[in-house]
């Protein structure tokens, strides 16, 4: 099973693509690609312990960060083009993914328990 999520930026044409990768282990991996694409929203419900990989296919650097429901922020640091940043989801609840450099980039997840 796989699906994609496109989040089109309102001004810049940047977008996030989410691909759920099937993995043999219990934990899943969601690949989120930053590129130019049309908006197509898909609801995903990753679990605590699942991995999200952010793949920068844009030709500019990003600096993504996750804000958990309790306010905890995880910054993934500067991400040059054609690089990947990974994080393991740590808490149940609502998570907002944004970019320090491009505030228009925004993606929301609801993380559920195992
Ligand atoms: Cu950015």
How far does residue 64's CA lie from ligand 1's centre (Å)? 7
| Euclidean distance between CA atoms 11 and 38, whole angstroms | 12
How far does residue 14's CA lie from ligand 1's centre (Å)? 8
Can you give the pLDDT of all 114 residues of the chain as single tens digits? 333 444 443 344 455 666 666 555 578 888 888 875 322 344 667 999 999 988 888 888 999 999 999 999 999 999 999 999 999 999 999 999 888 988 888 888 899 987
Q: Which domains are assigned to the chain? A: 4-111 (2.60.40.420)
How far does residue 98's CA lie from ligand 1's centre (Å)? 8
């Amino acid at each position: 099973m796989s699906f994609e999520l496109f989040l089109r930026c309102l001004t810049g044409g940047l977008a996030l693509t989410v691909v759920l990768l099937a993995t043999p282990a219990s934990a899943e991996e969601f690949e989120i690609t930053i590129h130019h694409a049309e908006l197509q929203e898909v609801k995903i419900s990753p679990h605590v312990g699942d991995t999200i990989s952010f793949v920068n296919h844009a030709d500019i650097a990003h600096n993504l960060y996750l804000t958990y429901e309790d306010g905890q922020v995880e910054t993934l640091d500067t991400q040059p083009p054609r690089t990947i940043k990974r994080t393991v989801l740590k808490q149940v609840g609502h998570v907002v993914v944004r970019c320090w450099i491009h505030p228009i980039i925004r993606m929301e997840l609801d993380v559920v328990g195992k």
